[in-house]
Amino acid sequence: MTTLPSPEDVLDARRALAGVAVTTPVLRSERLDRLTGASVHIKCENLQRTGAFKFRGAYNCLSRLDRQAYPGGVVAYSTGNHGQAIATVGRMLGIPATVVMPSDAPAVKIAKARENGASIVLYDRSRQSREEIAAQIAARSPVAVVPPGDDRFIIAGQGTAAAEGLDQIGISDSPLILVPCGGGGLAAGTCLATEAMRSTAEVWAVEPEAFDDTRRSLASGDREVNPTLTGSLCDALLAPTPAELPFSINRERLAKVLTASDQDVLRAIRFAHDELKLVTEPGGVIALASLLCNPDLVRGRNVLVIVSGGNVDPSVFKQALDLDVNADPTGRAA
């Protein structure tokens, strides 16, 4: 599974996902355009099946599984949404799925994966390696490991969100695509998607402030490691280091990496609630958060923002609802 995906793989994934994945809507907001000076298009992958874009990669990958070679099905390690997608797609396709999840993942994500019939193995994010646990399971039984990012078909499937979004907004001047970034799979797939769609769009990735491994890795040329694995609201983006395949794509093609703080993210969740009527999760809304914080960088451009997921714990959503309703969503008044 170490073959690099190509732009053609993204087009191929679109064909595989046709009629299976939701063609998620693209929303506009006059207030958002006013605040940023840009023409902003929100690609609502929180409205995707399983509540996150991860469904696209999971389905594209599992629908191609060699079932004779892997009668035991698949094992996935995941901060949550990937695991949920693997569990759901496993149920859809009749493929047994085991999901290795951190014990501090949102309860709603763990419960959902169980509901979809997956076997769940919990681990301690600060002490254990999820890759090792998955590898041990794969060594004991005929199951294929499906990593959240380091897979040709996962990356290509994830790229279909941007490809679809570019189709929906049509040709535009100085296009820009903003995507959340954990391991880097969505960013890499998005870079391939722009090529596949013959778009001149720049792709910018957005990481949590204290988890800027991709930003530092692009600067140094090596895959840098985050000093810690906890301490951000963005549970979906806490990869220890850029995944290998995505990084080899992102290092050549990503135009910029931005970061956003937990407070920026909470303000964006509140903005999406107030203005877009969308439920978003911290890691899913981080690209919107960064857009709101950086109007100077985007003014006059046509921006496609991927809102990648909506599986938020109610306690976090309530933090956003408790913010001052009159607070400046750009954070500049704070």
By CB under 8 A, which span of 23-31, 95-103, 198-206, 291-299 interacts with its own copies? 23-31
Please, what's the b/e burial string for 148-181 (b: 16 or more CB within 10 A of its CB; e: otherwise)?
bbbbbbbbbbbbbbbbbbbeebeebeebbbbbbb
Least spacing, CB of residue 271 vs its own copies, in Å:
11
Q: Please pick, from the candidates 1, 3, 18, 28, the single residue that binds its own copies as defined by CB under 8 A.
A: 28
With respect to its own copies, which residue has the nearer C-beta, 239 or 305?
305
Residue 142 token pair: 């005929």
Q: Which of residues 103-162 bind its own copies (CB under 8 A)?
A: 107-108
- Between CA 219 and CA 212 the distance in angstroms is 11
With respect to its own copies, which residue has the nearer C-beta, 108 or 229?
108
Least spacing, CB of residue 248 vs its own copies, in Å:
33
- Between CA 165 and CA 151 the distance in angstroms is 22
Least spacing, CB of residue 100 vs its own copies, in Å:
23
With respect to its own copies, which residue has the nearer C-beta, 198 or 277?
277
Q: What does DSSP assign to residue 231?
A: -
- Between CA 278 and CA 282 the distance in angstroms is 13
Q: Which of residues 264-293 bind its own copies (CB under 8 A)?
A: 273-274, 276-280
Q: Please pick, from the candidates 69, 139, 171, 325, the single residue that binds its own copies as defined by CB under 8 A.
A: 325
Residue 261 token pair: 């703080």
Task: Assess 319 for contact with its own copies (CB under 8 A).
Answer: no
Sign of the alpha-carbon dihedral angle for 222, 104, 116, 237: negative
Q: Which of residues 230-249 bind its own copies (CB under 8 A)?
A: none
Give how many residues touch its own copies by CB under 8 A.
25
Per DSSP bridges, beta strands 26-27 and 39-44 are: antiparallel
Least spacing, CB of residue 260 vs its own copies, in Å:
20
Residue 257 token pair: 């990496």
- Between CA 18 and CA 205 the distance in angstroms is 26
- Single-letter amino acid, residue 266: L
Q: What does DSSP assign to residue 276?
A: I
Task: Assess 314 for contact with its own copies (CB under 8 A).
Answer: yes
With respect to its own copies, which residue has the nearer C-beta, 220 or 315?
315
Q: Which of residues 166-205 bind its own copies (CB under 8 A)?
A: none
Residues that bind its own copies (CB under 8 A): 22, 25, 27-28, 30, 46-47, 49, 51, 107-108, 273-274, 276-280, 310, 314, 317-318, 321-322, 325
